[in-house]
Chains A and B, each alone.
Chain A
Amino acid sequence: MAVSNSSSDKGTRNLVIGMVVFIVLIGVIFSFISNRSSTTAMVPASVSAEDGYGIVINPTATPTVDIYLDYQCVVCKNFEIINGGYINEIAAQNKAKVVFHTMSFLGAESVIAANAAACAADEGKFLEMNLALFQNQPTSHDSGMWAGDFMKRLGNSIGLNSATFEKCVAEGDYIDWTRNVAQASAAADVNSTPTVKINGKEIDRNTEYMDPVKFRAALAAGGVK
């Protein structure tokens, strides 16, 4: 053999290092590409790019209440139980512009749920679907429950029976849009869910999220009458 033992060892070692570095670089590139926002994504009618691709209710009302959530987030579910009724009241009575940012960092089923919520928004039933999703939150992330025709049946249970809705959840019309929401929320430096902002300023995480009285007071202080 022309090559000595030790130099062929070195060649193997360098080859292995090269392969690991190569695979990891591919992985990094894949992560960036598969999560970047899409300029061609279909977006629900009530979504506004200026509002971080969130689903907007009462676009002309003031003040603006931004709610960032992930449908698989347990604290978000508790927040919905505590404050959801009041938020829905604000939305129904046009007391504020309410923007829902359906983030999806907790896994694939968060994406499926956000898509379904957007499909419901197109039918004017976002708030109902929002509640139904939290009421049917699986006990673990990506449990397999939010798959198949689950979102169609969940929609049916709250009166969403149109062919448009069923196609929207079955084909995942707004899957690409969920990445735009994620990117916009990341750019807005949202580091936790739920996050609630009034006119762009977050309310006090230590006291005002999980206490219905303090939550109302915080919104009132922000101009919600």
Chain B
Amino acid sequence: MQNQSSKSIGSRVLNLLASNQPWLTLIGRLILGGVLLTAGALKVGKPQLSAMSVRAYELLPTDIANFFGYVLPWFEVALGLLLIIGAGVKVCAVLGGATMLIFIFGISQAWARGLNIDCGCFSAGGVVEPGETNYLSSIIRNIGLTVVAIYLYRFPKGRFGLDK
């Protein structure tokens, strides 16, 4: 009896999710797209700072880090715009999710190696004073966004999108 009732609640939740999938996809697009667009837009005007953020991870050779520092903000703007408009959602979800995984890796290794850096996710970046890092919250945020990206990959078609 108990089991049956909880099962029916579970399946009702699933039904509710399924019947609202186009709206959930829209919400997911706005969340992932909104974060990417904001993060990118805050950095496009400050490419030197963005390059500094990438260098501070101490993962890439300086020249390559500087190159990515210039390209990354614009890449985020493009993904953000396309996700919000709803054009090419599936591909953008893959690229956005992969970007988040790379960020999670980068932040984790910086944390593990004891670097003191700002993640450079939004505007600021580079080396900071010890104790001013916020690795955990950045990683949790990026895991959440990865989940959204996976959902969008599975259900790319939603409300108010150009993808038909």
Contact = CB atoms under 8 A, between A and B. Distances in A.
Interface of A: 6, 9-10, 12-13, 16-17, 20-21, 24-25, 27-28, 31-32, 35, 75, 103-107, 182, 186-187, 189-192, 205-206
Interface string B46-59: 11110110011000
A190 B78 CA distance: 29
Nearest to A25: B74
B107 interface: no
A66 to B, nearest CB: 16
A182 B47 CA distance: 11
Nearest to A32: B70
Given A20-B82, A24-B74, A182 B164 contact: no
Given A13-B164, A35-B70, 5 more contacts: A17-B82, A28-B70, A31-B74, A105-B49, A190-B52
Interface of B: 44, 46-49, 51-52, 55-56, 62-63, 66, 70-71, 73-75, 77-78, 81-82, 85, 87-88, 116-117, 126-130, 162-164
A20 B52 contact: no
A191 B77 contact: no
Contacts of B116: 205-206
**Chain B interface, >50% SS class:** helix
Contacts of B71: 28
Given A24-B75, A192-B56, A17 B47 contact: no
Contacts of B82: 16-17, 20
Interface centre among B48, B49, B74, B163 (most CB of A within 10 A): B48
6 contacts: A31-B44, A31-B47, A35-B48, A103-B48, A187-B66, A205-B116
Nearest to A179: B48
A116 B128 CA distance: 27
B87 A105 contact: no
A18 B158 CA distance: 21
A219 to B, nearest CB: 20
A7 to B, nearest CB: 10
Given A13-B87, A20-B78, A186-B55, A192 B127 contact: yes
Contact of B164 (A6, A35, A107, A191): A6
A32 B63 CA distance: 13
Contacts of A27: 44, 74, 77
